Each structure stands twice: as structure tokens, then as C-alpha cells.
């Protein structure tokens, strides 16, 4: 798994399927508090991928914003006027 993946370092688990076969999957992530480096006030037109590009230099790292704001529904992190925490670099 790529080092930039949110599943990097997660153990693999074998999940039995109804037909008797087994599918190897990554264990679910449990998000704990992350270090933050300030806040950002979401503006009209902001998108999570573009905020991640500005905050982390990589639009695919949107999940770092979600991890830095475990109190929030990630689908609502783009709500204008909301203040969100920025993840530490």
C-alpha cells in the first residue's frame, strides 16, 4: 500500500463471504486525535480536494482534513462558514 494511503500500516484481515470464499481486506481504521496547526474558515465554493491541495499539497490527501476533524461528518466539511482544523504537516 502506498505510504500516502490512509490505510498504510493497517493490517490485512480475511473476511468470509456468503459463498464460502474469503476476501482479504484492510482492517477498518480507527481515527484518534491528530495534531493540528490552526483552523480554516470554509468559504463558498470550497471543495475538500482543493482544501487538501492547499493544506497538504496533494488533493488526494482530503482524508487528512477529515481525520483532523473527527467531530465532523466528512461530507459536511465543505459547509461555508464552518471553521475546520488543519492537520499538522
- Between 88 and 32, the more confident residue is 88
Domain spans in the chain, listed from the N-terminal domain onward = 35-89
State the pLDDT at residue 59: 92
Alpha-carbon span 88 to 38, nearest angstrom: 8
DSSP class of residue 26? E
State the pLDDT at residue 33: 65
- Average pLDDT of the chain, as a whole number: 85
Q: Is the pLDDT of residue 27 over 90?
A: no
Q: Collect contacts of 59-62 with beta carbons under 8 A, ≥24 apart.
A: 60/4, 61/4
Overall average pLDDT of the 56-83 stretch: 86
DSSP strands (E only) in the chain: 12-16, 22-26, 36-41, 83-87
Q: Is the pLDDT of residue 2 over 80?
A: no
35-89 maps to CATH 3.10.350 = yes
- Between 82 and 33, the more confident residue is 82
pTM of the model: 0.64
Alpha-carbon span 43 to 40, nearest angstrom: 9
Q: Is the pLDDT of residue 75 over 90?
A: no
Alpha-carbon radius of gyration of the chain? 16
- Cα pseudo-dihedral 68, 73, 78, 82, rounded to 10: -70
Amino acid at each position: 500500500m502506498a505510504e500516502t494511503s490512509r490505510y498504510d500500516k493497517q493490517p490485512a484481515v480475511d473476511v468470509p463471504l456468503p459463498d464460502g470464499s474469503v476476501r482479504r481486506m484492510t482492517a477498518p481504521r480507527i481515527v484518534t486525535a491528530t495534531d493540528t496547526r490552526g483552523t480554516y474558515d470554509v468559504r463558498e465554493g470550497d471543495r475538500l480536494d482543493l482544501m487538501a491541495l492547499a493544506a497538504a499539497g496533494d488533493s488526494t490527501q482530503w482524508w487528512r482534513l477529515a481525520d483532523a476533524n473527527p467531530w465532523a461528518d466528512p461530507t459536511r466539511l465543505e459547509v461555508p462558514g464552518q471553521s475546520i482544523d488543519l492537520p499538522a504537516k
